[in-house]
C-alpha cells in the first residue's frame, strides 16, 4: 500500500486543529477586519501563479500560506458590515457539518451507499416543506444554489407541461426576476421570443392584470403559455409578487407556477414574512437558498416540487451499470434520480445539524432581526434631508440615494451615488452595492446578518452620511474651480 497520499493519525489531528484554530480566529475577530481586503495583485503574480508541484510541501505550512496569501485577498461576505448583494452569514455548526461530510466522504446519491445521509436529507426536506406549507406528498432535494434550483424546477415544468416539446411555448416573469432564470431557460433551449417580461407596478411586483391579458393574447396567436415565474423577495429590492393572485391565474389557465424564493422564502418563519409570502404554498415548484437566510456556509440551495412523482419522472435514468441501486421501496430514496447531479455533496447535513443545534426559534429571531435592521435604516433616512428612500425596507432590503439639494442634474446625482458606494467600499467600514430602479442609480443595502447590531447599523449610516457630505463638498469645490 502506498503511503504517498496519507498522513499519520497525529499529523491529521495537528492539521485539523490548525484548521479549526484558523476558522475560529477568523470568526471571532471578523469585526476587526475591513469588510473587503485590499487586493494585492503582486501576491497573485509572485505566489499564486505557478506550475503544478512535482513534490509536496508541509501541509501545516501550506495552511499558513493560505491564511497569509489567499484568505486575506477576499471580501468577507460573512462580515456583519457586508450588506452588498446578498450576504452569506454562515454559522460554525454548518461549517463543522461540511467538514464532517467531506471527512466521511458521504455520497448521498443512492440508498445503497448513503442510506443515513439520504434519510437526513429526507427529514430536512420535510422540515422545509412543512415550514412553507407544502403538502406531505411534495418532494425536493438540495442543490448548489438558486441557479441550479431554478434550472431543476423549470426542467420539470418543461417535462410536465410540454412533454419537452417547446415549440411555441411561452414563459412569463417580471423585469425584476433574477437572471438565473434567463440562464436556465437558455440552457433548456428556449429562444428570446419565447420569454415574455411583464411590467411591474409601483411596488415592483408583477402586474397580474397585464399578465392575464398577455396570456390571453398569446393563446389567440397560437402560442402555448406554460409557466409563470413569481418572485418571493427580489434580489433588487425584496419585492414579493402577489402569490395568491398568481396561483389563481395559473389554476385558471392550467399554467405551471414556479416561485423563486431563493432570497425571501425563508422569511416565512417571521410574522412579517409570513404575511408577505401568503400563497407561497400553492406553487408547483419553489426555489429556496439556505446559504442566504438560513445562514448556511456556501453552497446549499433547495428545490421543492408539489407533485411527488415529477422529479423522478423527469430525471430518472437507470443504465446497466447502476441497476444495483434500484429500489421500489418508498422509504428508500435515490436522490441521484431526482435531479441533474449524480455526484453530489451531503449538503443536507449542515441544514439538519444547524436546526438541531439551535432550534427553529433561533432562526426565526435572526430573520426578524434582519428585517428590523432594514426598517431602522429606513427610519434613519426619512429623518435626514438630502436622502430619498427609493424602495422601502422589505424583507431586509432597502434602496435609497443621496440627493444634495443644490444638485439638480440627473447625471450628476447618478455620479455622486456611484462615487459614494465606491468610497464606502474602499474605506472598508461597510460594503454596499448599487442597482438601477425606477430609472435611478440607487444604493442597495441588505441587512440579513444576525451578528450586525442596531448600534453598528446606525453608526454605519452616520458614516455613510458623512462620506456623502464629503463627496458633495468636494464636488462643489471642483465645479467652482472649473467655472472660475
Positions of the chain with pLDDT under 70? 1-3, 328-330, 476-484
pLDDT for position 376: 99
List residues bridging with 259 in a β-sheet.
230, 286
DSSP assignment letter at 77: T
Q: Are strands 256-261 and 285-288 parallel, antiparallel or unpaired?
A: parallel
In CATH, the architecture of 362-483 is Alpha-Beta Complex (3.90)
pLDDT in tens, 325-372: 877 666 788 999 999 999 999 999 999 999 999 999 999 999 999 999
CA 229/CA 212 separation, integer angstroms: 13
Which residue in this structure is represented by grid cell 406531505?
136
Q: Nearest to residue 335, comparing CAs of 102, 118, 104, 123?
A: 118
CA contacts within 13 A on the Cβ side of 95: 14
Give me the phi and psi of 186, to 5 degrees please: -65, -45
Q: Please name the residues in contact with 221: beta carbons below 8 A apart, sequence gap of 6 or more.
A: none
pLDDT for position 477: 54
Model's pTM, two decimal places? 0.95
pLDDT for position 323: 83
pLDDT in tens, 71-95: 999 999 999 999 999 999 999 999 9
Cis peptide leading into 299, omega within 30 of 0?
yes
In 10 A of CB 4, how many CB atoms?
Answer: 6
Integer angstrom CA distances of residue 8 from 4, 12, 81, 162, 404: 11, 6, 41, 56, 65
pLDDT for position 38: 74
pLDDT for position 481: 39
pLDDT in tens, 7-53: 999 999 999 999 999 999 999 999 999 998 778 888 888 899 999 99
Would you state the torsion angle of the CA atoms of residues 155, 256, 258, 336, taken in this order, to the nearest 10 degrees? -30
pLDDT for position 482: 38
* CATH fold of the domain at 98-359: 3.40.640
pLDDT in tens, 255-269: 999 999 999 999 999
CA 289/CA 147 separation, integer angstroms: 10
Amino acid at each position: 500500500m502506498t503511503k504517498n497520499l496519507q498522513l499519520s493519525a497525529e499529523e491529521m489531528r495537528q492539521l485539523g486543529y490548525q484548521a479549526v484554530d484558523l476558522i475560529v480566529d477568523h470568526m471571532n475577530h471578523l469585526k476587526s477586519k475591513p469588510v473587503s481586503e485590499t487586493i494585492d495583485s503582486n501576491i497573485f503574480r509572485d505566489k499564486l501563479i505557478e506550475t503544478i508541484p512535482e513534490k509536496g510541501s508541509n501541509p501545516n505550512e501550506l495552511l499558513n500560506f493560505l491564511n497569509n496569501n489567499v484568505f486575506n485577498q477576499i471580501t468577507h461576505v460573512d462580515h456583519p458590515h457586508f450588506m452588498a448583494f446578498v450576504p452569506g452569514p454562515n454559522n460554525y455548526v454548518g461549517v463543522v457539518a461540511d467538514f464532517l461530510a467531506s471527512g466521511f466522504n458521504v455520497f448521498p446519491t443512492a440508498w445503497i451507499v448513503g442510506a443515513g445521509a439520504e434519510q437526513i436529507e429526507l427529514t430536512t426536506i420535510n422540515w422545509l416543506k412543512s415550514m412553507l406549507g407544502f403538502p406531505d406528498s411534495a418532494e425536493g432535494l438540495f442543490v448548489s444554489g438558486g441557479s441550479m434550483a431554478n434550472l431543476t424546477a423549470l426542467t420539470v415544468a418543461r417535462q410536465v407541461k410540454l412533454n419537452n416539446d417547446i415549440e411555441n411555448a411561452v414563459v412569463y416573469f417580471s423585469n425584476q426576476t433574477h437572471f438565473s432564470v434567463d440562464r436556465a431557460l437558455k440552457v433548456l433551449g428556449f429562444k428570446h421570443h419565447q420569454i415574455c417580461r411583464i411590467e411591474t407596478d409601483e411596488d415592483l411586483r408583477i402586474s397580474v392584470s397585464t399578465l392575464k391579458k398577455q396570456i390571453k393574447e398569446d393563446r389567440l396567436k397560437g402560442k402555448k403559455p406554460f409557466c409563470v415565474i413569481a418572485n418571493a423577495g427580489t434580489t433588487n429590492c425584496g419585492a414579493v409578487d402577489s402569490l395568491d393572485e398568481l396561483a389563481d391565474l395559473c389554476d385558471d389557465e392550467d399554467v405551471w407556477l414556479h416561485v423563486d424564493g431563493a432570497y425571501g422564502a425563508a422569511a416565512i418563519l417571521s410574522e412579517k414574512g409570513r404575511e408577505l409570502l401568503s400563497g407561497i404554498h400553492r406553487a408547483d415548484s419553489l426555489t429556496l437558498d439556505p446559504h442566504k437566510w438560513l445562514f448556511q456556509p456556501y453552497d446549499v440551495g433547495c428545490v421543492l416540487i408539489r407533485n411527488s412523482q415529477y422529479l423522478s419522472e423527469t430525471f430518472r435514468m437507470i443504465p446497466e451499470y447502476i441497476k444495483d441501486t434500484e429500489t421500489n421501496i418508498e422509504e428508500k430514496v435515490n436522490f441521484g434520480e431526482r435531479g441533474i447531479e449524480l455526484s453530489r455533496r451531503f449538503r443536507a447535513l449542515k441544514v439538519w445539524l444547524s436546526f438541531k443545534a439551535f432550534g427553529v426559534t433561533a432562526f426565526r429571531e435572526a430573520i426578524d432581526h434582519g428585517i428590523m435592521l432594514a426598517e431602522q435604516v429606513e427610519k434613519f433616512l426619512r429623518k435626514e434631508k438630502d436622502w430619498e428612500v427609493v424602495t422601502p425596507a422589505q424583507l431586509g432590503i432597502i434602496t435609497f440615494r443621496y440627493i444634495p439639494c443644490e444638485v439638480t442634474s440627473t447625471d450628476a446625482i447618478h455620479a455622486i451615488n456611484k462615487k459614494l458606494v465606491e468610497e464606502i467600499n474602499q474605506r472598508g467600514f461597510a460594503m454596499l452595492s448599487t442597482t438601477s430602479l425606477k430609472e435611478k442609480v440607487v444604493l442597495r443595502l441588505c441587512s440579513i446578518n444576525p451578528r450586525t447590531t442596531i448600534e453598528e447599523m446606525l453608526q454605519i449610516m452616520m458614516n455613510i452620511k458623512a462620506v456623502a457630505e464629503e463627496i458633495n463638498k468636494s464636488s462643489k469645490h471642483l465645479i467652482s474651480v472649473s467655472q472660475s
